[in-house]
Amino acid sequence: MTEKKLKRLYLAKRLIFVVIIIYIAVFVILNTSYLSFDNIRRFAHSAKTALTQTSATKNDVITYPSGSIPVFAPFKDGLAVIDDSLLSVYSKDNIRFSYHNLNFRHPVMRVSDEYILCYDRGGKTLKVFNSFDLLFEKEFSDIIINASVDNSGRVAVLTDKYGYKGQLTLFDGSFRERFLWYSADAYLTDVYFTATNTVSVVTVTQQLENLNTVVYSLNYSAGEERGSVTSNGNFPLSSVRKNDGSIEILSESGLVSFRSGGCNNIYYYGSLTPHKFYQGDKYTVISYKTAAQNDLYIVCAEDIAGNTLFEQSFHNVRSVSAVGDTIFVLTSDTFFILDAAGNTVSTTEAPAGVTGIVPGRSKLVLFGAEKAYIYTVSDLLK
């Protein structure tokens, strides 16, 4: 009888072991994109902190008495923050993974799913980080205009260039110089990774008294210019890469969408002047001041095709933003969370003095001149 029990116990252990192996295999297959070396280190660091209980008390308020507002960016499930020329990378629990001295006077930060890119506005130095390490540093001979990094670590940098209107330098995933492109006719303003082996460069040209936006498509693998699309009479005040690979610019008259087949004016302001705006990869949100009351504003949301999702009135709008299918509106006393149709999902009291929103899929920051408040997005959506 005892021998039978031992055999059953042995078979049960074997079965449990097999189930665990199958579970791990399925987990790895379903989460291959998540299981990067950097993410494994983040998990190990968070687990170690939790087990040793050495973490500081969770801090959801950042105070910066110096008067210089930090640069915030959502990174993975946490945040990347540049404050007093120091880059800090935080976990979802606001525990700092690492910090790095930048020595930048006017820092700019752009992030992809795996990398943090920083450069000095008006400077010549560019740096790329993951959650823990400095991976790449480059001192250019000319001033950096703009730069982008993709999920594979490829870096595209726009700089001034003597004798030209600007230069694009592209580095591959191993940070080796891969492609150079010089612009003789157009001033470079921004650059985005838009498709396989393709970057789109937003530029400005002058034709008599008109300023035009020209978006060039460059294949860095083939080392050639594939084409360009021009929007006459539109100056790019702001631009963004949409999640379908198109480029959208916000001009003085409206929104213009650039694709490989051409460009379309997808939204006009008419007689209104934008007060605040946010261009996301899915939606663009704009607020306008009405003539009826000084404190009354109209907030509208536009999709990639220029369809108006909703228009609503709010008092004393301070900022607007969006992430995924969620729209955010910050007023002087209330923080509104809306769905894509403009329905109110929830509201919370706005902290005193906040004037801006930095949205992320996991973390969201409301910031002002002296303090920033960090929220978990899932808590706001309950």
Quick one: average pLDDT of 244-250? 97
What are the pLDDT digits (tens) for 118-148?
999 999 999 999 999 999 999 999 999 999 9
Of the candidate ranges 43-57, 141-155, 158-172, the one whose mean pLDDT is the lowest? 43-57
Express as a percent the part of the chain with pLDDT over 70.
Answer: 87
| Residue 176 per-residue DSSP state | -
What per-residue confidence (pLDDT) applies to 56? 39
Half-sphere exposure of 319 (CA within 13 A, CB side): 18
Q: Strand pairing partners for 192?
A: 200
Report all structural domains of the chain as residue ranges with CATH numbers, in order of start.
Answer: 270-382 (2.130.10.10)
Q: Is the pLDDT of residue 11 over 70?
A: no
What is the per-residue pLDDT for 251?
95
| Span 270-305, pLDDT tens digits | 888 899 999 999 999 999 988 766 789 999 999 999
- The pLDDT-based confidence of 62 (bands split at 50, 70, 90) is confident
Tokens of 110: 């752009």
Rg (CA), the chain: 24
Pick from 37-41, 53-57, 103-107, 334-338 the range whose average pLDDT is largest.
334-338
Question: pTM of the entire structure?
Answer: 0.87
Q: Is pLDDT at 25 greater than 50 in this prediction? A: no
pLDDT value of residue 71: 95
**pLDDT for res 29:** 44
Residue that wins the pLDDT comparison between 130 and 260: 130
The region that residue 379 occupies, defined by phi over 0 for left and psi between -120 and 50 for alpha, beta otherwise, is alpha
Per-residue confidence (pLDDT) for residue 2, from 0 to 100: 65
Q: Is the pLDDT assigned to residue 24 strictly greater than 70?
A: no
CA distance linking residue 217 with residue 197, whole number of Å: 10
Give the chain's end-to-end CA distance (angstroms, integer). 55
- pLDDT value at 23 more than 60: no
Residue 135: closest CA among 174, 106, 102, 169: 174
Q: What pLDDT, on a 0 to 100 scale, did the predictor assign at position 161?
A: 95
